[in-house]
């Protein structure tokens, strides 16, 4: 993402023994899992809904669903892929509900960046501009971009989490970065050119 906000480290998978304990109802094991993934899930949800209080509630609900679904979770699957699939479904449910019952929400401009607050003024302004541009994306593009640049999932994990093809993931992330870059350029912020996905890949779900 422009502005070097991309996460460089992919989320690690939880220890299998810990997962097995949590599946058997061990609350201490589940609490360890929550502590490891609560912040990435919250950051992702916050950027999607633009409301800190709502994001906190949704994050709690996501982990409630995870707790309820863990006994049926296959240990052959990647936990982070499933976790963000659960997150996606809960957020989409909420966004649909918000469309039916409009409410005032905090704009993305009012949310503190996910970086240190003592950044130089010019960098701080650029960061806010990035989040304004991201906030203007449609939800499909925003979900793919945030899973890549904030959560740090691989393209394959994003495809599995969003239940779309790998080609579609690459196209959505490219399109999102292109729209963010265009928006920043309109504000006079120079960004690196966005690399197109390989043309051999077809787009489709």
Residue at token pair 């350029």:
185
Q: What is the largest distance, in Å, between two alpha-carbon atoms of the chain?
A: 55
pLDDT of residue 198: 67
Q: Which CATH architecture has domain 114-205?
A: Orthogonal Bundle (1.10)
Q: Would you say residue 161 has pLDDT above 60?
A: yes
Q: Would you say residue 22 has pLDDT above 90?
A: yes
Q: Would you say residue 55 has pLDDT above 80?
A: yes
Q: Would you say residue 32 has pLDDT above 90?
A: yes
Domain 9-106 class, CATH top level: mainly alpha
pLDDT of residue 191: 65
Q: Would you say residue 85 has pLDDT above 80?
A: yes
If one compares 128 and 136, the residue with the highest pLDDT of the two is 136
Q: What mean pLDDT is predicted for residues 13-20?
A: 94
What tokens appear for 33 in the block?
A: 């899992």
Q: Hey, where are the domains in the chain?
A: 9-106, 114-205
pLDDT of residue 64: 95
Q: Would you say residue 2 has pLDDT above 50?
A: no
Percent of the chain with pLDDT over 90: 49
What global pTM score does this model have? 0.74
Three-state secondary structure readout of the chain? CCCCCCCCCCCCCCCHHHHHHHHCCCHHHHHHHHHHHHHHHHHHHHHHHCCHHHHHHHHHHHHHHHHHHHHHCCCCCCHHHHHHHHHHHHHHHHHHHHHHCCCCCCCHHHCCCCCCCCCCHHHHHHHHHHHHHHHCCCHHHHHHHHHHHHHCCCHHHHHHHHCCCHHHHHHHHHHHHHHHHHHHHHCCCCCCCCCCCCCCCCCCC
How far apart CA 173 and CA 21 sit, in angstroms, is 36
Give exposure, 22-58, as e/b (b: 16+ Cβ within 10 Å): bbeeeeebbebbbebbeebbbbbbbbbbbbbebbeeb
Say which range, 56-60, 129-133, 142-146, has the weakest mean pLDDT. 129-133
What pLDDT digit, counting tens, does each position of 163-190 carry? Answer: 999 999 999 999 988 888 888 778 777 6
If one compares 125 and 18, the residue with the highest pLDDT of the two is 18
What pLDDT digit, counting tens, does each position of 87-126 carry? Answer: 999 999 998 887 776 544 444 444 444 443 344 444 556 6
Q: Would you say residue 74 has pLDDT above 50?
A: yes
Q: What mean pLDDT is predicted for residues 39-58?
A: 92
If one compares 10 and 165, the residue with the highest pLDDT of the two is 165
Q: What mean pLDDT is predicted for residues 60-86?
A: 94
């Amino acid at each position: 993402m422009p502005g070097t906000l991309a996460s460089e480290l992919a989320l690690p998978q939880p220890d299998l023994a810990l997962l097995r304990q949590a599946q058997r109802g061990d609350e201490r094991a589940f609490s360890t899992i929550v502590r490891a993934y609560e912040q990435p899930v919250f950051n992702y949800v916050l950027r999607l809904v633009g409301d800190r209080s709502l994001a906190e509630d949704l994050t709690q609900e996501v982990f409630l669903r995870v707790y309820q679904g863990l006994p049926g979770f296959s240990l052959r699957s990647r936990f982070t892929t499933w976790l963000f699939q659960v997150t996606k479904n809960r957020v989409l449910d909420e966004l649909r509900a918000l469309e039916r019952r409009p409410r005032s929400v905090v704009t993305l401009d009012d949310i503190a960046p996910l970086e240190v607050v003592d950044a130089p003024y010019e960098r701080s302004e650029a960061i806010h501009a990035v989040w304004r541009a991201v906030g203007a994306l449609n939800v499909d593009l925003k979900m793919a971009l945030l899973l890549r640049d904030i959560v740090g999932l691989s393209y394959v994990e994003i495809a599995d989490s969003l239940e779309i093809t790998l080609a579609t993931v690459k196209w959505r992330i490219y399109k999102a970065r292109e729209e963010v870059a265009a928006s920043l350029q309109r504000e006079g912020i120079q960004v690196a050119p966005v690399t197109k996905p390989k043309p051999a890949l077809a787009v489709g779900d």
